[in-house]
Amino acid sequence: MGLFLEQEVAALTPLPLHPYDCAEVALRVCDLEGYLDFQTNRYPVPYEHVVDILTMKVTEHEVLV
């Protein structure tokens, strides 16, 4: 088996089926204009959420509210 002993190979566990979720999660208050601020950007939300505390999940490619 090369450099590994059989006991070492048997002790290994497989990688998880799904990748680890490393998205940033933050709470933000929607301002009176209907926007959430995150890292110098402003993201619009529906007007009915003005002054609500909303949860943002930010990944490498998208922002989810």
- The string of pLDDT tens digits covering residues 41-53 is 999 999 999 999 9
Locate the domains of the chain by residue range: 17-64
Strand, helix or coil for residue 58: strand
Q: Please give the distance of CA 41 from its chain centroid, rounded to a whole number.
A: 17
Whole-model pTM: value is 0.64
- pLDDT tens track for 17-39: 988 889 999 999 999 999 999 88
